[in-house]
Structure 1
Amino acid sequence: MKITIVGGSKGTGAQLAALAQAAGHEVTVVSRSGSAPSGVRTVIGNATDPAVAAQAVAGADVVVVTVGGAKGVSRQRAAVTKSVIGAMQKAGVRRLVVQSSLGAGDSGSQMPAPLRIIMQAVLAKALADHNEQEAAVQGSGLDWTIVRPTGLTDKEPTGTWKALTTNEDGRLGGSIPRRDLAACMLGILSDDSTIGKALGVSS
């Protein structure tokens, strides 16, 4: 599989790039800094630039967006995601997986009430960015899946996780190691049953 990861220079994206490469996939990472896991193809630049986005998604089987916020930039996640969606639509690339956050969209119901109140207060700007991002994804007409992790950690992976839609029974935990989230996302890339779904993910 040819996988493009936008935001793959660090964090979950870098973990996913390493796992995907180890599994034998062809991986392209889009990075403003040019840093990326060893051995992957790198496209250097900001994916909000249509030319960079077009170069990144060309020939891909699936595109993954794992970008975070950028200092001094309003709604960076939404801007990058919209640019990538436009490039995918022009190139005829259908499969899109986007990392959002628990608390975005309708996922507040998956969180304990005290945590929900804290997140809405402390992370209001980030959640507004994710809400705009998710709206663009859901209106894209692409074969999308949204992944909403709980708090991300750098702890050792456990190899297990929960992935639930808001319609499913069960309660999510408060955190997940980035490596476990990356492994979960790698499985989602080839799981057509997740298309059109937003999944809350935790340990």
Structure 2
Amino acid sequence: MQITIIGGSKGTGSQLAAQARKAGHEVTVLSRSGNAPEGVHVVRGDATDPAAAGKAVVGADAVVVTVGGAKGVPNQRAAVTRAVIEAMKKEDVQRLMVQSSLGAGDSGSQMPAPLRIAMKVALAKPLADHNEQEAAVQSSGLDWTIVRPTGLTDKDPTGSWQALQTSEPGTLRGSIPRADLAACMLGLLEDAASIGKAVGVSS
């Protein structure tokens, strides 16, 4: 599979790029820094630039958006996601996965009870960005999957995780190593049953 990762120079995106490459996929990363794991094709540019986004997604079987917020730029995640969706439509690429956050959309009930109020207050702006991002994804007409991780850490991977839809019983734990999240995302990307679903993920 040819996978394009938007924001794959660090964090979860970098982990996903490295794991996908190791699994035998062809990987392209679009990032402003131009950094990427070894063996990965790099497109340097701003994902909100239609030319850069188009160049990155051309020929892709799947696109994954893992960008974070940008200082001084309101709703950066949503802006990037909308630009990527438009580029995908122009290049006739259907499969989209977006890294959102637990607490976005209807996922508040999946959060550990002590964190629910604190998260809503402390992360009000990022969650508003993610809500706008998710709305763009869900109305895109593409084959989408939304992944909502809990708090991300750089701890060693455990090789296991919980992945729950809001329609399923249970709550999620408070964190997950980025490497485990990347492994979960790669598995969901390869699973057609995840299309049209939003999944909360934690250790």
Question: CA RMSD of the aligned region, Å?
Answer: 0.6
- In the alignment, the residues of structure 1 paired with residue 197 and residue 173 of structure 2 have an alpha-carbon distance, to the nearest angstrom, of 20
Give how far 1:125 is off: 0.4
2:193 is equivalent to residue 193 of structure 1:
yes
Cα deviation code 1:11-30 (max 9, x no counterpart): 00000000000011000000
- In the alignment, the residues of structure 1 paired with residue 109 and residue 23 of structure 2 have an alpha-carbon distance, to the nearest angstrom, of 35
Amino acid at match of 1:29: V
Paired position in structure 1 for 2:122: 122
SS in 2 for 1:170: coil
Cα deviation code 1:45-70 (max 9, x no counterpart): 00100000100100000000000001
- In the alignment, the residues of structure 1 paired with residue 69 and residue 104 of structure 2 have an alpha-carbon distance, to the nearest angstrom, of 15
Paired position in structure 1 for 2:142: 142
- In the alignment, the residues of structure 2 paired with residue 199 and residue 83 of structure 1 have an alpha-carbon distance, to the nearest angstrom, of 23
Unmatched segments (≥5 aa) in structure 2: none
Amino acid at match of 2:119: M
SS in 2 for 1:96: strand
Paired position in structure 2 for 1:83: 83
Output aligned runs, 1:145-184, within 5 Å.
145-184=145-184
Give how far 1:114 is off: 2.7
Unmatched segments (≥5 aa) in structure 1: none
Contact 2:156–2:177 (CA under 8 A) maintained in structure 1: yes
- In the alignment, the residues of structure 1 paired with residue 93 and residue 65 of structure 2 have an alpha-carbon distance, to the nearest angstrom, of 14
Amino acid at match of 2:3: I
2:18 is equivalent to residue 9 of structure 1:
no
Output aligned runs, 1:18-167, within 5 Å.
18-167=18-167
Give how far 1:111 is off: 1.1
- In the alignment, the residues of structure 2 paired with residue 157 and residue 43 of structure 1 have an alpha-carbon distance, to the nearest angstrom, of 28
Contact 2:150–2:200 (CA under 8 A) maintained in structure 1: yes
Give how far 1:9 is off: 0.2
Give how far 1:112 is off: 2.6
With the length of structure 2 as denominator, give the TM-score of the two structures.
0.99
Amino acid at match of 1:153: T
SS in 2 for 1:42: strand
With the length of structure 1 as denominator, give the TM-score of the two structures.
0.99
SS in 1 for 2:63: strand
- In the alignment, the residues of structure 2 paired with residue 176 and residue 185 of structure 1 have an alpha-carbon distance, to the nearest angstrom, of 13
Contact 2:6–2:31 (CA under 8 A) maintained in structure 1: yes
- In the alignment, the residues of structure 2 paired with residue 169 and residue 113 of structure 1 have an alpha-carbon distance, to the nearest angstrom, of 14
SS in 2 for 1:74: coil
- In the alignment, the residues of structure 1 paired with residue 168 and residue 120 of structure 2 have an alpha-carbon distance, to the nearest angstrom, of 23
- In the alignment, the residues of structure 2 paired with residue 45 and residue 116 of structure 1 have an alpha-carbon distance, to the nearest angstrom, of 36
Runs of 4+, deviation exceeding 2 Å? none
Amino acid at match of 1:17: A
Count of aligned residue pairs for this structure pair: 203
